[in-house]
Amino acid sequence: MPESMQQSAMPPREVARRVWERLMASWRMRLVILVLLEAARAALLIPSAILLGLSSLALPLTIPLAAEADRLTARLLGAEAPSGCRPGTPLPIWLASRVTKRPFWRQDLPLVISSLLMSGPSFGAGVIGVLGLRFILRGLRSLHSPGDSWWAPPLGVGFCLFTVLVLAVVATARLRLIAALSRDQDAEWAALAQQVGDLRRGRATLVDAFEAERIRIERDLHDGAQQRLTALTMTLGAARLSAESLPESAGPAGPAGSANSAGPANSAGPTSTVGPTSPAGPADSANSAGPTDPAGSAGLASPAGSAGSVDPASTPETTARDRLISQLDRAQEQAEAALAELRNTVRSVRPAVLTERGLIAGVRELCAGAGIEVALTASRDDSGLSDPVSTAVYFAISEGLTNAARHSGASSAHVHLLCGATGVSARIEDKGVGGAIPEATGGGTGLAGIAQRLETVGGSMHLDSAPGEGTTLLIQAPASPPW
C-alpha cells in the first residue's frame, strides 16, 4: 500500500502527533514556538492577573490547573516534567485533594508564582518590540515623503531583535524552571532511601563475610600449618636427642689408622726373626717384635698404634655426628622462627583469644606484652559485642599501645575499657611527647587505617595529642554494626 494511502488511513490524532514530533525534532522550531508562547504570555499578563484576582476564592483549584498546564506545555516541548495527576484519577477528585498535599506547596504554588514573575520581563520586552514595530512602520511611511526619519527603521529592527532575544532567554529559563519544580521529590527521596538501604545491607554483608573469612583463615592456620610446624620442631628435637646418643666412634678405624694399628706384621711370631731368607738387613730388625723391642710390642706405649687412644675430632665418624647435630640445631631454629611468624600472622588476622575468652581478655594480653607498663581498667561484660566490633576495637587498642611504646617516649600508659549492652568505648592515655597526627592516606595501616576499620562497624576514633602534653586516643563502637 502506498505511503500516502497509509497516512490517509491513520486517525487524525496520530497524524497530528507525527507532525508535531517532526516539528519538535528541530531545535530552531522549538525556539520559535517558545518565543511565540512567551509573547502570548506577555500579552496575556494583565488579563491573567485580573482573572486571578477575580477568582481568588478559587485559587486552590486554579493554581493546580495552571501548574498542570505549564507541565503539559513543557512535556510537549520535550522537557522532563511529569504530571502531578496520576493516571486514572478523575480531575475533580485530584483538584479537591491536591491542596491538602505537600506537592501543592512544593510544586504547584511555586511554579505558578515563578511563572507570573517571569512574565514581567517578557511583558517589558513585548512593549519594546511593539515600539520597534512602530519605528519600522514610521520609517516605511517616510520613504515617499521628505523628512528626517531615516533612523527609525534601524532602531525598530534593533528593538525587535532585543525583544526576540529576551523572550528566548526567558522562555528557556521558564522551561528549565518548570522541569526543576515538577520533579517528584517524594519519589526521589524514596528511591534515594532505597539505595542507601541497599548500600548499608551490602556493607553489612561484606563486613560479616570478611569477619567470617578471618575466622576461617585463623582456624585453618591454627589447626593446620601451625600444628604441622609444632610437630616438625618436636621431630627435630627428637632427632637431635637420637644424634647425641650416637657413640663417639662408630665402626672400624679408617685406612689412616690401619698403618699404625697392631697387626700380624708387627706381632711377635716365627716370621719376625732375622734369618738368612729375610730380605731386610740389620736396619730392618728394629721393626721386628722381640723381647728387647719396646716399640714393637702390641698394646704398649706406642700412641700411634693404639686404637683406643685415637683423637675423636679427627675421625670421620665423630665429625659427621657433630655436623648432623649442628644441622639439626639450625633446622629447629628455623622451624621455631617460622612458627613464631605464623603465630604473629594468625594473631594479626584474628586473635584466638577473642573467640575463646572475649575482648577484655584480649586487651589484657595486649597490655601485658605492650613493652611498657600499662594499667588496665575494664568494667562490665563483653559477651554482647559482635565479632566484627571486637576485632576492630582490639586492633585499635593494639595500634594505640604500639604507638605509645614506640613513639611517645612514655614509660607507662593507662587503658580504660568500658563494655556494655549498647557498645564499647576505650581510652588510651600516656604522658609522652604527644604530637601524633594520623596520616590522611594511611593505606589501611596506622591510625588512619584503624579509623577506617572502626568506620566499617559504625565506630569512631578521636585523637587528642597536643605536643608536650601526651596523647589520648578515644575509641567508640556500637555492640553490633548498625547495618
Whether 239 and 170 share a structural domain? no
- Position 429 in a domain: yes
CA angle 260, 261, 266 (to 5 degrees): 90
Residue-wise pLDDT for 96-126, tens only, equals 788 888 888 888 888 888 888 888 888 888 8
Asked if 64 and 98 count as a contact pair (C-beta separation under 8 A), the reply is yes
Domain boundary among 162, 183, 204: 183
How many domains, the chain? 3
How much is the mean pLDDT over the chain?
Answer: 75
* 423 membership: H or E segment, kind and range: strand 423-430
Domain boundary among 137, 157, 183: 183
**Distance, CA of 236 to CA of 135 (rounded, Å):** 113
Instruction: Provide mean pLDDT across the span 147-166.
Output: 83
Helices (H), 182-283: 185-220, 226-244, 255-258
pLDDT digit string, tens, across residues 462-474: 999 888 888 999 9
- Do 179 and 80 fall into the same domain? yes
Q: Check residues 51 and 154 and name the one with the higher pLDDT.
A: 154
* Within-domain flag for 102: yes
Q: What is the CATH number of the domain that holds 438?
A: 3.30.565.10
Amino acid of residue 48: S
Average pLDDT over residues 311-318: 48
Range of the domain at 241: 193-245+315-345
- Which of 324, 345, 366 is a domain's end point? 345
Residue 335 lies in a domain: yes
Instruction: Answer yes or no: do 334 and 360 share one domain.
Output: no
Q: Is the pTM of this model over 0.85?
A: no
In a domain, 384, yes or no: yes
Classify residue 381: in a domain, yes or no.
Answer: yes
Instruction: Give yes or no: residues 205 and 325 share one domain.
Output: yes
In a domain, residue 154? The reply is: yes
232 with 168, same domain: the answer is no
Q: Which of 366, 424, 367, 416 is nearest to 393 (CA)?
A: 424
Q: Please check whether residue 270 lies inside any domain of the structure.
A: no
- Residue 428: predicted pLDDT: 94
Residues 34 and 102 in one domain: yes
Residue whose entry in the numeric block shows the C-alpha cell 679408617:
254
Task: Judge whether 274 lies within some domain.
Answer: no
Most confident region among 33-37, 139-143, 160-164, 250-254 by mean pLDDT:
160-164
